Amino acid sequence: MPYYVIERQIPGAGSKSPEQLQAAIDNSVSTLEGLGPDIQWIHSFVTDDKVYCIYLSPDETLIRDHSRETGMPADRVSAVRSLMSAEGLRDPEELSA
């Protein structure tokens, strides 16, 4: 299944309390359960004013549905074409096989 990177513009994201972040996690997980097994949240990186999320999804549609239902923006949704690391270059499809 394809990987996607979602960029969410959330002013003050890095200043949110652990309780606020946990509430966002709970909201996201609950929504994902309602959308079914075809979409999976891997993890997110929280910076000062943005959150970058990694998802597995058959297409962008489910990601946009999740965003709409949670009320969290999806300012940019990008399909991952290659994965680079210290171990070298990999096809992201290898990771989800």
Number of domains in the chain: 1
Band (94; pLDDT cuts 50, 70, 90): confident
Average pLDDT, integer, range 13-25: 97
pLDDT digits (tens, 9 = 90+) for 55-65: 999 999 999 99
Look at the alpha carbons of 41, 83, 76, 58 in this order and tell me if their dihedral is positive or negative: negative
- pLDDT value for 90: 85
Q: Which domain holds residue 33?
A: 3-95
CATH of the domain at 57: 3.30.70.3090
- Tokens 């993890």 locate to 43
